[in-house]
Structure 1
């Protein structure tokens, strides 16, 4: 603690004296630069103290800038210099020369002092979780903020949150987590890049964990929300990283992030370029139980992509009460999708025909997005805020495919087809949120959101007839989809130190229209829905809390579930959309207990969900061809139990586990066929992170997902194991990662359809992926691997 208080005292005293020094006559300048002894990186914000050689009293000083440099005017040259920074050994300089009124101390190297740093960490403030009404708040203490790690490492210390070595974030064992920065979406929270690596632990004040969102958030929702609250500090300097990846199958990329924080601006940029290949093995069986004919197929598909992307943005702090954000992103993908599928057609045990179907597909995908955000904080209370944002996105696809069937044996099935796709999607989101804490106990929230989706998909199929390609009108369509959703919400909450209650109501109006221009078939829907939410909490102690919640949610049909285009890659197993599809509605009830036992944190929930108009893919069979189309099939009532935990018995070992079991009751009818049945499914996930000597971390994660019944058959279960190895060099400035996904190539998806007149079987497997990456972090940023995941 002596070193800690000495550094604080010296820093404040130097700041005070530096103002006096500037007011006096400047006769000599002291200059120099400071770097780390191990990494040769600049050391910003270190203390340079100047003492009187006779009295030993500090007379002047300053701190180093972003590049580790300093320039201090002095009038008394009978001095010595003491240079210090938290976690490094203090250096004293007593000999120097004066040349032309300048004392040049040159490049000074600071050696690390792990003992001093450990002393501060042990005696500093410890991070802890505070239970709030509808969320948990993880306050970041000095035990984490003093270590210089990235935001991903902070998230990995939050109960119920896990971050694997590749940077994938899960909440209570589920992916699809929405990450916010100061309550708003941000490119800094983009999980497809390494942007979170530029946010260091000492920038973060707290992390809010929201597992059951209130009416403030979209009714369509996510699996959970993590909101990172940054400290309100004036200056943080340069942060950034650059990395390179390679892998088997091909997964090669370079990427980087850069973040510059000043008193008024936070400037950030990201870039990435690379090439990846995503192979997939497939098998299918179509069995006609009426005439005993069977079609077998197996093949290998590829999605090869060359990709580029760049992001630029800035936060502008007009003053302490107003912050403006402007950012933009551009990405471009070049796709190549070759595939080969082998077919065998049998009548009983007799071969009718054997052929091979080859595909060559090329596509270009331009993408861009832009965002404007204004956040105003009122003077009476920092939690009294107004936030306005606008977000625009565009995605395009220009794709062409050629298919050829070549007969190998039996009846002639030679044929050629080709397709052309021109796809464009524009999305716009406008949002405003107002939060007013009326006093310490009561809070009101209100706001609105307006989302515009505009999509056009021009899809053409041509068959080779003679020497000419002729348009197949039965498979060709130009599909237009427009959806506008307006949401307005209000919530009111009361909360004291022990218990709280929060109620809210969200109203959403959906205006949806679809049009098939070639046949002039149109469909339009306009509906308004109420989405009430209710939350209550009771804190029994600092380490135990109960939370209860109810919400009504909606799952609107996705574009590809509505678009009646035909996928003819395998023309015996065709998927198509349904423009008449209705949205699902779910009533969700949840009772959750959150508790800590020593070094373990646990969360358990009992939940019940009732869903109407459940969307299921239904298969029909004709001429040995399976056609799969999404349909609204009845209701699903689910009751389940979920528990997850994290246990860190020591600094070098962390164990995580998730378990989810549910029992469901399905009821529904489609075309006079009754789909009433009951079933259950469960999944579990066990993970461990082991700290090995020489700054090496080993991560192992095992998953199992059980099989379950479907409306027409069953989905099989599977287990798989992922491994990761990470080596830190120069205190994390350089990081090397080795990852193996699906070590035993056991992540196999199998689907069976068993009906009175036909049976089908579908098999898909991605296989084993091995990746290696090396990253370099500069400034205060930690090295983070740019994974090159699909955006």
Structure 2
């Protein structure tokens, strides 16, 4: 609360100051005298945190009117030029006691050093302001999405949050893309998340546990090289102000959904205890269809098959992150936390196949029912040590984490042709995964007097995964031979070193870095005795140049080399068997892809508008691509088609995007984003089907696509907040067909009650029930049209109650290892 008051009222004071200053008659400068510079750094005395927007006023000792002045930047620094003379200098920040330097005779540059401001309790008690941070903060090197201000996601999950983040898209199955590229790395609190099923894991974390999301499209050498598209850093809520405070959130929805969570904190001068714990019960209904036309070898139509699918899913479980921060000594902190998630659920898929002859006369009707259950348990232990050697950014951090993930899925699949006289067949599937991961990381930051900064560090990531998957019949109980059953053993060892140096010359800022990663990966299929060892080490350079055109505008140029290691469903040989004619399986023989990323960005700020735009070019070798191959098997007249990822030769993508924040009035905020890109893929794929036929597919493809998003938030009469979000995804061609366009609209209302101690929010996801993935596929023996909707329209009602805190409280006393880029990594100096 206090930090928000400081920021908003500091801005108000700043605008007031400059309004006054603009009216001051400027004295005629003495052409003989050169100007001198007054500089310094303003911090909060208790926390040693820099104070942004603190005002510096310089007055003539003989005239009380202001001569000049300025404000501090994000690091608390200021530098002001004046003509030589005798002046009074005053440093102020709202709700803090001012510091004055009177009768200073300035004949040469003066460095006031570090100026510590103390809170004025009297002012804090008197000032009451209702102000909120923008939902989307645009920065030159990243975008920050503040979840707390978004009513749309109340009662939802991380997937719902990411749907509203600029540059990010989430498809109907929960797969995340950044600028249209799925090779994105997900971080949680600054650490890579290696969940066994990322799409599913993001649906298990409640949105109410998230503080903000950072979008980093071109990361520096400080970050993992993995993630060809970039990095999404999901930062969870943590402790806040001194004493006991927090919030409780209860939600319910249609289809049947319930949730209860608590974000609590107790902070003393030395210790800070925090927890974010919640229970979630969620049902979702989906549907899909695939209508196929079947051909013989001469491309003559031989029949039709209509496949209609209904899905019903249930998820329930608890998730918790609890920890303690200990202030060992001034500027020395040690934080330990434990995260635990236990989620269970059921998956019921019912698929009907209606077959027709060449004249579209009905032949038969078959159904396939899959009843499954799954349970997953994740536990993570994390420890962070932070030592600040001074107040200028010289520090050392050390992080350790260990996680264990278990995910077990079982299902029974009943297959029967109605009125055929044949009994139903029953198959059993088993998919059990266990993963252990250990990470260690250390970062050292050394700033210099001239404003430059050196940073270096090490990171080790050691990951073991065992995945047993089998499909058995009810007759013999033996695994079905072929491409359905196997046991995967995956071992990953990654060691990395990096160094980067940033400096500033006049209006130019530079950041150059180099990262080296040594990788050893074992991908072993134990049932078939197929062993693969992949070893490689690579250098990953990065470079950032920023030119500050003015205080309101700047332009940047950046380059980084990235890679994408195949993970999760890309490698997993487990085959989705809910449909026995449209299968999906991973490819354990995938190699990593490498990307060169170039980006030119421009940022401009006006009084009510912030505009950010960039042009980008990405050149990727060994790019991942999904192909649909005909296995040679048939179910009736229907060919069995297998979808699987492969390495293609290369992909080149050129794109343009912009983000716009506009506040036309105090009660109305608009955020919008737009992205368009042209992708050219080059390559072919040769495979042998079960009949030993060698088939070569030409996968060369060029596609143009765009997507846009607009978010409008308006305060209605009676202080009711209304939010409306719309997204549109354009059609795009593929090497084997086309993905059609689709749109989605979400809406929410919010009202503060109980003297602003509580909030009621009602939101509707997919207002028009339009979020469906539509595609067309053209293969040699089949041409099909498909639709799939993972989740139908959802309605949620949530109630939030705040204990000993106000709606505008900020995390000013949150633990120092907050997962954000708070140590200067990737930031420009100055």
TM-score range, shorter-chain basis? 0.7 to 0.9
Q: Is the 8 A contact 1:286 1:625 kept in 2?
A: no
2:182 paired with 1:174: no
1:381-412 Cα shifts (integer Å, max 9, x gaps): 44011110011222212222111112214584
Q: 2:348 aligns with which of 325, 338, 341?
A: 338
Matched, 1:452 2:467: no
| Residue of structure 1 in register with 2:385 after alignment | 374
Choose from 651, 654, 663 the match for 1:648.
Answer: 663
Which shifted more, 715-724 or 220-229? 220-229
Which residues of structure 2 form unaligned runs of 5+?
7-69, 78-91, 96-123, 155-160, 170-175, 177-184, 194-201, 687-695, 810-830
Alpha-carbon distance in 1 for matches of 2:486, 2:796: 41
Give 2:364's aligned residue: 353
Paired with 1:259 and 1:750, the residues of 2 have a C-alpha distance of: 46
State the distance in 1 between where 2:267 and 2:130 align: 17
Q: Is the 8 A contact 2:138 2:612 kept in 1?
A: no
What does residue 473 of structure 1 align with?
481
Contact 1:354–1:410, Cα closer than 8 Å, also in 2? no
Matched, 1:439 2:433: no
- The 2-side partners of 1:523 and 1:643 are apart by 43
> Which residue among 404, 425, 432 is the counterpart of 1:422?
432
Q: Measured at CA, do residues 489 and 192 of structure 1 come closer, stay the same or move farther in structure 2, by a change above 3 Å?
A: farther
Pairing 1:260–2:266 present: yes
Maintained 8 Å contact 1:352/1:411: no
Match for residue 606 of structure 1? 615
Counterparts of 1:709 and 1:554, CA distance in 2: 25
Over 3 Å counting, the alpha-carbon distance change for 1:757 and 1:130 in structure 2 is farther
Q: Which of 318, 328, 333 does residue 308 from structure 1 map onto?
A: 318
Which of 255, 258, 262 is residue 249 of structure 1 equivalent to? Answer: 255
Unaligned runs of 5+ residues in structure 1 are 6-124, 133-139, 200-206, 785-791
1:41 matched to which residue of 2? none
- Give me the whole-angstrom Cα distance separating, in 1, the residues matched to 2:238 and 2:322: 22
What is aligned with 2:66? none
Moved more, 391-400 or 636-645: 391-400
Q: Aligned to 2:605, which of 596, 599, 605?
A: 596
- The within-5 A match list for 1:52-63 is none
- Contact preservation (8 Å) 2:442, 2:458: yes
Deviation, 1:149, is 7.5
Alignment of 1:114-263 (within 5 A): 153=133, 156=136, 161-162=144-145, 163=147, 164-165=150-151, 166=153, 168=161, 171-174=165-168, 192-195=206-209, 211-221=217-227, 223=230, 236-263=242-269
Q: Does 1:753 align with 2:762?
A: no
Corresponding residue number in structure 1 for 2:652: 637
Partner of 1:544: 553
- What is the CA–CA distance in structure 2 between the aligned matches of 1:608 and 1:128, rounded to whole Å? 32
Is 2:537 the counterpart of 1:522? no
Say which SS state the counterpart of residue 767 (structure 1) adopts: coil
Alignment match, 2:290 = 284
Please point out which of 407, 414, 419 is paired with 1:404.
414
1:23-172 pair list within 5 angstroms: 153=133, 156=136, 161-162=144-145, 163=147, 164-165=150-151, 166=153, 168=161, 171-172=165-166
1:687 aligns with 2:708: no
Decide whether aligned partners of structure 1 residues 479 and 684 sit closer, same or farther in structure 2, where only a CA change above 3 A counts: same
Q: Give, in angstroms, the shift of residue 184 of structure 1.
A: 7.5
- So what's the TM-score if we normalise by structure 2? 0.72
Map Cα deviations across residues 656-675 of structure 1 (whole Å, 9 max, x no partner). 11111111222111124322
The answer (yes or no) to whether the contact 1:604–1:643 under 8 Å persists in 2 is: yes
Which one of 780, 788, 791 corresponds to residue 805 of structure 2? 780
Distance change >3 Å, CA 597–CA 179, structure 1 → 2: farther
Query: Residue 742 of structure 2: which of 697, 704, 718 is its match?
Result: 718
Name the structure 1 match of 2:26. Answer: none
For residue 36 of structure 1, what is the aligned residue in structure 2? none
Distance, in Å, in 2 between the alignment partners of 1:657 and 1:718 is 18
Range 769-778 or range 169-178, more displaced = 169-178
Q: Distance in 2 between matches of 1:537 and 1:597?
A: 19
Change (3 A) 1:486 1:464: same
How big is each residue's C-alpha offset from its partner over 1:140-175, in whole Å with a ceiling of 9 and x where there is no partner? Answer: 9869x976879x846546665444312636553426
8 Å CA contact 2:367, 2:415 repeated in 1: yes
Q: Is the 8 A contact 2:245 2:805 kept in 1?
A: yes
Q: Give the Cα separation in 2 of the matches to 1:630 and 1:385.
A: 43
- Contact 2:356–2:364 (Cα < 8 Å) also in 1: yes
Change (3 A) 1:703 1:147: farther
- Mapped partners of 1:561, 1:483: distance in 2: 15
Q: How far apart, in 1, do the equivalents of 2:215 and 2:555 lie?
A: 15
Matched, 1:673 2:673: no
SS of the residue aligned with 2:168? coil
Contact 2:239-2:273 within 8 A present in 1 as well: no
Q: TM-score if structure 1 supplies the norm length?
A: 0.75
**Residues 451 and 562 of structure 1: CA distance in aligned 2, closer, same or farther (over 3 Å):** same
Q: 1:517 to 1:179 in 2, by over 3 A?
A: closer
Kindly tell me: are residues 142 and 730 of structure 1, through their superposed partners in 2, closer, same or farther at Cα, counting changes over 3 Å? farther
Deviation per CA, 1:412-459, whole angstroms, max 9, x where unpaired? 473111112221112221111111012232211110111112111111
- TM-superposed CA distance for 1:552, in Å, is 0.8
**For 1:624-675, what per-residue CA distance to the aligned partner results, in whole angstroms no more than 9, with x for missing partners?**
1111111112211111111110011222000111111111222111124322
Correspondence for 1:664: 679
Separation in 1, partners of 2:144, 2:587: 37
Question: CA-atom RMSD, angstroms?
Answer: 3.4
Distance 1:178 1:575 in 2: 23
In structure 2, how many angstroms separate the alpha carbons of the residues matched to 1:370 and 1:247? Answer: 33
**In structure 2, distance between residues paired with 1:753 and 1:374:** 53
Number of aligned positions between the proteins? 640
Conserved 8 A contact 1:128-1:141: no
| Separation (CA, whole Å) in 2 of partners of 1:498 and 1:209 | 25
Contact in 2 for aligned 1:241/1:783 (Cα 8 Å): no
Counterpart in the other structure of 1:483 = 492
Matched, 1:729 2:729: no
Question: Retained in 1: the 8 A contact 2:138–2:610?
Answer: no
* C-alpha distance after superposition, 1:695-753 (max 9, x if no partner): 21100111111010112111111111110111111343111111111110111101221
Which stretch of the first structure deviates more once superposed, 724-733 or 216-225? 216-225
